[in-house]
Amino acid sequence: MPESSFPELIEAMKAAAGVLATAEIPFVLGGGLSAWSRGGPRSEHDVDFLLKPEDAEAALAAFEQLGWKVERPPEGWLYKTWHENGALVDLIFNPASGPITDEMIDRAPESEVMALRVKVSTLEDVMVSKLMAMTEQEPDFSSVLEWARALREQIDWQEVRSRTEASPFAKAFFTLVEALGIVEGVPA
């Protein structure tokens, strides 16, 4: 499917947030839209909502009951649903950085995103999730580099570094952003 336009993603974000709120499922806006809401580059890929693993089935059922197309991919860490305009909404519950928890939901600040009051993932959680998801098959640094350049002053880099220290891809990312002068290196 072709990628959705930004207005289509916003329409899907608002509608999906309504579905989750009506179903009384706690959630957080994550991914590219959460970075964009704080001044990052515009996202036109999908809408990411983070929710606890124990709420994932109920969330997917709520979308299905309202006629949204739904899918349970074999990866087992997210479900997918599509707005009638074709925009993809990912319901992420167990990313590579670890399962979504009450703590993660609680620490997400509430913000206004395109006239919608919604909890928005911290930038540290966004960066950690993206860095921990990198694999040899998908070592794509483009989005994290864009986010780092645009949002560098808003991110606690020590927290991101400590939470991703087990990832060789995160180590490569920090080498790159330090060499580019985006992030200061750790004193020796």
Report how far residue 147's alpha carbon sits from residue 149's, in angstroms, rounded to the nearest whole number: 6
Q: Which residue has the tokens 């649903």?
A: 81
Say if CB 144 and CB 127 are below 8 A apart: yes
Q: How far is CA 30 from the centre of its chain?
A: 3
pLDDT over 90 (residue 44): no
99 and 138 belong to one structural domain: no
Residue 187 belongs to some domain of the structure: no
Higher pLDDT, 43 or 59: 59
What tens digit of pLDDT does each residue of 8-30 get? 999 999 999 999 999 999 999 99
Query: Strand ranges (DSSP E) for 6-64?
Result: 28-30, 47-50
3 and 63 belong to one structural domain: yes
Higher pLDDT, 149 or 139: 149
For residue 145, name the pLDDT band (cuts at 50, 70, 90).
very high
Q: Residues 57-61: what's their mean pLDDT? A: 98
Q: pTM for the whole thing?
A: 0.93
Residue 188 belongs to some domain of the structure: no
7 and 86 belong to one structural domain: yes
* End-of-domain residue from the set 77, 96, 121: 121
DSSP per position, 119-182: EB--HHHHHHHHHHH--SS----HHHHHHHHHHGGGS-HHHHHHHTTT-HHHHHHHHHHHHTTS
**Distance (Å) of CA 147 to CA 25, 40, 123, 136, 162:** 28, 6, 9, 21, 18
Range of the domain at 171: 122-182
Residue 103 belongs to some domain of the structure: yes
Domain count, the chain: 2
Q: Given the DSSP bridges, would you call strands 28-30 and 47-50 parallel, antiparallel or unpaired?
A: antiparallel
106 and 171 belong to one structural domain: no
109 and 146 belong to one structural domain: no
Report how far residue 77's alpha carbon sits from residue 94's, in angstroms, rounded to the nearest whole number: 4
For residue 187, name the pLDDT band (cuts at 50, 70, 90).
low
- 38: DSSP letter: T
Collapsing DSSP to helix, strand or coil, 139 comes out as coil
CATH code for the domain of 33: 3.30.460.40
